[in-house]
Chain A
Amino acid sequence: MLLRPTNEDFKIIVHYIGRLIVGLGIILVVPLITALVFNEWDRALDFSISMLLAIFFGLLLQKIFPATRDLNWSQGLAVTSISWLVAMLLGAVPLMLSGHYASYLDACFDAMSGFATTGLTLIQNLDHVAHSVNMWRHLMMFLGGQGIVVIALTFLVKGTAGAYRMYVGEAREERILPNVIQTARFIWLISLVYLVIGTVILGLIGFFEGLPLVRSFLHGSWVFMAAFDTGGFAPQSQNILYYHSLPYELATMVFMILGTLNFGLQYVVWHGNFRELFKNIETRTLFSSITIISLMTTLCLLSTYPYLMANFRKGFYHIVSAHSGTGFMTIYAPQFANEWNLPALLMTIIAMGLGGSACSTAGGIKALRIGIFFKALLQDIKIIMSPGSAIVVQKFHHIKDIILEDRLVRSALIIFISYLATYLAGALVGVAYGYPLAEASFESVSAAANVGLSAGLTSPTMPAGLKITYIIEMWVGRLEFMSIFILFGLVFARLTGARGKSH
């Protein structure tokens, strides 16, 4: 029986959303400082307005809805799912004020794409965008990749139980350290250390490839944020093709792969256990999948790119970009549809759909779940081949040895089916708007798996209904469904549930 949530439940939810909004407002100080440093005074006002607006609303919600209790499960998950929508609405304000968007919906599309680390974009005249706006576009990816709630856990939330419930809502089930706030801080530590290293590497490459010093390091930090957080935004309209540079492409490939690795795995490797990289079911599945799909794509593209280097830089690069959920491109979007044959497009769609690792910045179904399915299949084969009285225990290694239970397979299967349904629904909406099936499927999978590769559908002129569809796909794909199911469950329970205390 569903218990009807009380007004108190909703007050707690709104209170915590208020806290998260304040956190988001404070973070807007980064692009504000960038605007001041580069004398972008009008943009500085845009970011001031956005920051103050967020802080004002955040404080107001906390004052009107004071809360003294910690969050329960459904409240924590609801806070997370709503916070992502509120973050989109607020994150879009400076984008809209910059004058580079045709409508507020377009700005919201890019804000959700940024936070969800997708990379599809509707920005116009990107080559003339201010440094501060580019900083905000890429910072959204950096924040969204680690998790908006993870930021709040690091600075704003005291109660660890409620914090864990919000953390899980962001598609992060793994507690790397015993305390979830320590886990959040570790995720930030890793990301910031990599940010410094990545910025230096890309900055130096950019400098030696002919970019002026300051721009090379600015581009380095932005491209790193988009690569490590498997986002896919870039500061120029040609994306990574702009640099015409093999070293740049190689470096971004390494960062994309780093970003797609599980933070739990990174913790173990950081502590010296390099063998885990080779033993872990997730890395084995991920690298097997990347290898197989890349080889098949390379074969499919032999007629498109007859030279080995061209095939590597176009075929392999885009499969790594797709599989890691990044969406960096070194070709133009229409080239996918015009020049890549159907099998190559299909391989890219599969790579995007499968995605990277769980508890990473990547989207998609995730390698861990695919690995679990293979292990379950193996277990079933063993059961059939064993004597009737035999008990078959199947184990897999993910940080530690884990016994494969039906419960694990079931939860992986629910997420798998949810992703497939979302991919299909988005593709059908695209087809309903008159786009060809291949391109509509490509774009839908790219949005829901938070990849960002485009076959050319995503543009400011696409129908508003399709923009909203992709926003929803990006949102549900990033949060991996459960917290959104809970949100709808809460609304449903409010309308139909029995009275009683839900806390």
Chain B
Amino acid sequence: MKNLSLIMFCFLLLGNCAAAAAVSSNDLIAKAHIYDGRTIEFTGEVVGDVMIRGDFAWLNINDGAQAIGVWTNKQAAEKISYVGDYTHIGDTVKVAGQFHRACPQHGGDLDIHATEILISKQGHKVKHTVNNYKFAMTVILLLAIVAVSVWSPIKKPK
């Protein structure tokens, strides 16, 4: 009986450790039934937009594989300085919260309701440089079009 109690205690301990463990988006999606309702930790870049909805907000956080929606309070969302898009790398955030396979509050969305959001790395602007080869190619093609336009092929006499 003592052994059984010890085994059960170990299982509970393991369960709690797993509940707080960091999980990837691929794992959350592939094993949604396992993580459903559990407290998880998810890290990734905030992408797209911070969508404020009343006292709350939606963030979409991409860990490099998939982006997952995070429902959080407005104050936490307003701390985000950069969101990822063509000209920015978004803030990297560590989210702790409850994972839902099919959230009853949000029409069955797979999402995370955040209890804590920590900015682990601030985002920044991205500079896209112009490729000189592409510029040269554009000029060559323009000249080629002019050449084709003025060229009239010699017709063979029938």
Chain A residues in the interface with B (C-beta under 8 A): 40-43, 45-46, 48-49, 52-53, 55-56, 59-60, 63-64, 66, 97, 127-131, 209-212, 215, 236-238, 241-244, 246, 249, 304-305, 307, 309-314, 330-332, 334-335, 338-339
Contacts and interface: CB of A to CB of B under 8 A. Distances in A.
Q: Identify the interface centre among A43, A55, A238: most chain B CB within 10 Å of its CB.
A: A238
Nearest to B153: A63
B31 to A, nearest CB: 8
A315 B71 CA distance: 23
B66 interface: yes
A209 B60 CA distance: 14
B22 interface: no
Interface in B50-71: 50-53, 57-58, 60, 62, 66-67, 69, 71
Contact of A210 (B51, B130, B148): B51
Q: Identify the interface centre among B48, B58, B108: most chain A CB within 10 Å of its CB.
A: B108
* Pairs A-B, 6 closest by C-beta atoms: A310-B108, A210-B51, A52-B141, A313-B107, A127-B47, A45-B134
A64 B30 contact: no
A64 B155 CA distance: 10
Contacts of B142: 52
Interface residues of B, number: 49
A249 B107 CA distance: 11
Nearest to B68: A238
A307 B104 contact: yes
Given A40-B128, A236-B48, A310-B104, A332 B86 contact: no
A39 to B, nearest CB: 8
B64 to A, nearest CB: 9
Given A129-B86, A305-B108, A339-B101, A238 B69 contact: yes
26 contacts: A40-B128, A45-B134, A45-B135, A46-B134, A48-B138, A52-B145, A55-B145, A63-B152, A64-B153, A97-B134, A127-B85, A131-B86, A212-B49, A236-B48, A244-B69, A244-B71, A304-B102, A307-B108, A311-B108, A313-B107, A331-B110, A332-B110, A334-B30, A338-B30, A338-B32, A339-B33
A339 B138 contact: no
Contacts of B128: 40-43
Contacts of A304: 102
A278 B110 CA distance: 38
Nearest to B83: A127
Contacts of A246: 107
Given A48-B138, A128-B86, 20 more contacts: A42-B128, A45-B138, A59-B148, A63-B151, A63-B152, A64-B153, A127-B47, A127-B60, A130-B86, A210-B52, A212-B49, A237-B66, A241-B109, A243-B51, A244-B69, A309-B107, A314-B102, A332-B29, A334-B29, A338-B29
Contacts of A335: 29, 32, 110
B141 A209 contact: no
B131 interface: yes
B6 to A, nearest CB: 35
Contacts of A242: 48, 60, 67, 69
Contacts of A53: 141
Given A128-B84, A129-B86, A209-B51, A49 B131 contact: no
B3 interface: no
Nearest to B53: A210
A310 B101 CA distance: 11
Nearest to A314: B108
Interface of B: 29-30, 32-33, 47-53, 57-58, 60, 62, 66-67, 69, 71, 84-86, 101-104, 106-111, 128-131, 134-135, 137-138, 141-142, 144-145, 148-149, 151-153
Judged by DSSP, the binding face of A is: helix
A158 to B, nearest CB: 20
B69 A241 contact: yes
Contacts of B135: 45
A309 B108 CA distance: 8
B58 A210 contact: yes
Nearest to A53: B141
Contact of B109 (A210, A330, A339): A330
B86 to A, nearest CB: 4
B78 to A, nearest CB: 12
A5 to B, nearest CB: 20
A328 to B, nearest CB: 14
Contacts of B134: 42, 45-46, 49, 97
Contacts of B152: 63
A97 B51 CA distance: 31
A155 B28 CA distance: 50
Contacts of B67: 127, 236-238, 242
Contacts of B138: 45, 48-49, 52
A212 B52 CA distance: 10
Contacts of A338: 29-30, 32-33
Contact of B58 (A130, A131, A244): A244
B91 to A, nearest CB: 14
B29 A42 contact: no
Contact of A40 (B86, B107, B131): B86
Contacts of A59: 145, 148-149
A97 to B, nearest CB: 7
Contacts of B49: 210-212, 215
A128 B85 contact: yes
A45 B130 contact: yes
B108 A313 contact: yes
A311 B104 CA distance: 10
A210 B62 contact: no
Contacts of A64: 153
A48 B129 CA distance: 16
B126 to A, nearest CB: 8
B100 to A, nearest CB: 10
Nearest to B137: A49
Contacts of A129: 86
Contacts of A66: 153
